Amino acid sequence: MGLLNDKIVLITGAASGIGKSIAEKSLEEGAFIAVVDQFYDGLSSAKDSFNKYDTEKIIFLKADVSHPKEVEKTIQKTVDHFGKLDIIVNNAGIGGEINPTGEMSNKGFEKTIQINLLGVFYGSKYAIKQFEKQKTGGVILNMASILGAVGFRNSAAYVAAKHGVVGLTKTTALEYADKKIRVNAIGPAFINTPLLDALDEANKQQLVALHPMGRLGEAMEVAELAVWLISEKASFITGSYYPIDGGYLSQ
């Protein structure tokens, strides 16, 4: 029996990287899933790679999480298709503009906040409305980062957004604990995903050196933690932030 048998799980940014691994692990643990992504080409690629699973248990939806109406419609489409929503994983995010704070463009800063923080807020807000309508409780898992706990040069927008995600997680958890809605966040360090594909090998090795374990994390390692946290195995856990970082934050 899987950890997520018959649970309905919506995952944003799920066409690649950590989100895709969470989707795959959720399926392996018995869930029905909504794979949500901003890009049609990503969804097409995901459809091909998900063919090895029971395709009756998967729907693919296009949505830009920085637009609240799109997030709301995506949750409604998931409920229309599967009959309910049990869990949302607010995973969609971007690296954003790399520049010192004084040189960062207003547009670049705003875009990162819109996707990485407001997108999490919209997902949480509309999932909560659905959970309250169902009167069955629910689970929200937010994708923060190690940079939700510390600073990082040339990444002011990303760091601000991820700190905001951690604060949003704790506050939402307090507000809805008595309604059986659990809310947690996880904080990956640098993970070997397509977000790092633009880096040359020298820059990747610089990132590797930041981790005491001497390597980058893998997306499925993050997925293992994520799926455990959204399962009933973590039934007494809410308002928490879990780094998964190869020792990064211990330095």
Tens-digit pLDDT profile for residues 1-18? 799 999 999 999 999 999
Distances in Å between the Cα of 33 and the Cα atoms of 23, 158, 206, 213 are 7, 28, 36, 33
Residue 156 lies in a domain: yes
Residue 183 sits in a domain whose CATH number is: 3.40.50.720
pLDDT for 107 beyond 90 = yes
Confidence grade of residue 193 (pLDDT, cut at 50, 70, 90)? confident
Alpha helix (H) residue ranges in 50-176? 68-82, 106-113, 119-134, 156-176
As a whole number, the mean pLDDT across the chain is 95
| Count of domains for the chain | 1
pLDDT of 40 reads 66
Reported pTM:
0.96
Q: Which residue has the tokens 């659990």?
A: 182
- 103: domain range? 8-190+219-244
Share of the chain above pLDDT 90, in %: 87
Residue 22 maps to a domain: yes
Is 100's pLDDT higher than 90?
Answer: yes
| N- to C-terminal Cα separation, the chain | 39
Residue 81 lies in a domain: yes
Q: Using CB atoms within 10 Å of the CB of residue 203, give its burial: 0 to 12 exposed, 13 to 18 middle, 19+ buried.
A: exposed
In a domain, 36, yes or no: yes
Residue listed under structure tokens 């009167």:
135
36-88: pLDDT as tens digits:
998 767 688 788 888 888 889 999 999 999 999 999 999 999 999 999 999 99
Domain contains 250: no
Residue 194 binned pLDDT confidence (cut-offs 50, 70, 90):
confident
Question: Given this model, what pLDDT does residue 45 score?
Answer: 79
Residues taking part in catalysis: 158
Q: In what order do the strands lie in the sheet with 32-37?
A: 58-62, 32-37, 8-12, 87-90, 138-143, 181-188, 241-244
3 within a domain of the structure (yes/no): no
For residue 87, is it within any domain? Answer: yes
Q: How far apart are CA 7 and CA 85, in angstroms?
A: 8
In whole angstroms, give the CA distance from residue 182 to residue 237.
Answer: 7
Which is more confidently placed, 198 or 112?
112
pLDDT digits (tens, 9 = 90+) for 198-215: 788 888 899 999 999 999
- The label of the residue with tokens 């946290």 reads 229
- The 8-class DSSP code of residue 114 comes to I
Q: Pick the closest to residue 9 from 36, 40, 38, 48 (CA basis).
A: 36
- Tell me if 106 is assigned to some domain: yes
